């Protein structure tokens, strides 16, 4: 398997920027790893805060254990805001960019 293909697959299937480590371009890989990791941590923190809040309401008895009502509460929580949309966009851009860059670097190094 060519190095560019291997690097692109690692960046696509594991985490953006990790494929650059296969190509021995660690500093360049950090340009994808760091923003993607920060965005993933922000999204994960937001989701966990919402889950904690909903679990607290269920435990207190103020929110019945009904999937339809919980889904309504999740939709009403306002998770669709600028910060979460930006974090999602950063994840997508880093993922696609890391794949494309790994392919490009692998092909350039092969010449």
User: Does residue 26 contact residue 45 with C-beta atoms inside 8 Å?
Assistant: no
User: Does residue 110 contact residue 65 with C-beta atoms inside 8 Å?
Assistant: no
Distance CA 91, CA 111 (A): 31
Assess whether pLDDT exceeds 90 at residue 111. no
Question: What residues make up the domain containing 21?
Answer: 3-110
pLDDT in tens, 23-49: 888 899 999 999 999 999 999 999 999
Task: Output the pLDDT for position 81.
Answer: 86
Distance CA 62, CA 65 (A): 10
In the block, residue with structure tokens 């650059």:
20
């Amino acid at each position: 398997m060519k190095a560019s293909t291997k690097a692109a697959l690692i960046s696509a299937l594991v985490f953006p920027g990790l494929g650059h480590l296969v190509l021995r371009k660690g500093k360049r890989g950090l340009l994808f790893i760091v923003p993607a990791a920060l965005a993933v941590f922000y999204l994960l923190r937001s989701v966990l805060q919402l889950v904690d809040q909903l679990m607290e309401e269920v435990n207190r008895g103020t929110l019945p254990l009904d999937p339809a009502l919980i889904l309504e509460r999740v939709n009403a929580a306002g998770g669709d805001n600028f910060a979460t949309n930006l974090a999602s966009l950063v994840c997508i851009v880093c993922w696609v960019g890391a794949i494309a860059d790994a392919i490009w670097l692998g092909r350039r190094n092969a010449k």
